[in-house]
Amino acid sequence: MTAESAHPALGLDEVVHQRVRLGILAIVHEARRVEFGYLRTQLDLTAGNLSKHLSVLETAGLIEVEKGYEGKRGRTWLTLTPAGESALAAEIGRLKQLIDRVGLATSE
């Protein structure tokens, strides 16, 4: 099977495609820079669960984690790396191909 004829589902990235991590990447992409607490609230996650997903994304080089202070409170901010932007765009492209393929199959 050639790359052109491979089913789009085969190209989905396991790191990016996981529901929570895809949500993280999408939210950070939209906002450009996001605070940890905002992500935790938006995705309805515990701090520990979110931290584990962020660790996977950071290890993969898809997000950058910046720790600092806002007043006296410690804060963690997240931004997408260029690799993160590319990975998100590629994943969305594959999902669109998959949706188009399913749409063609149902209209036949």
Q: What are the tens digits of pLDDT across the range 1-11?
A: 455 568 888 88
Q: Are 81 and 61 in contact (CB under 8 A)?
A: yes
What pairs with residue 87 in β-bridges? none
How much is the pLDDT for 9?
A: 84
**Does 24 map to a domain?**
yes
Sequence-distant (6+) residues with CB within 8 A of 47 are 36, 40
Q: pLDDT (tens digit, 9 = 90+) per residue, 19-73?
A: 999 999 999 999 999 999 999 999 999 999 999 999 999 999 999 999 998 888 8
Does 37 reside within a domain?
A: yes
Q: What is the pLDDT at residue 3?
A: 52
Q: Is residue 60 part of a domain?
A: yes
Assigned domain for 96 exists: yes
Inside any domain, residue 6 = no
Rg (CA), the chain: 16
Task: Centre a 10 Å sphere on the Cβ of residue 22 and count the other Cβ atoms it contains.
Answer: 18
When divided into structural domains, the chain yields a total of 1
In a domain, 28, yes or no: yes
CATH code assigned at 39: 1.10.10.10
CA atoms within 13 A on the CB side of 39: 30
Would you give the end-to-end CA distance of the chain in angstroms?
Answer: 24
pLDDT tens digit sequence for 82-107: 999 999 999 999 999 988 888 776 66
Provide the residue range defining the domain that includes 32. Answer: 13-101
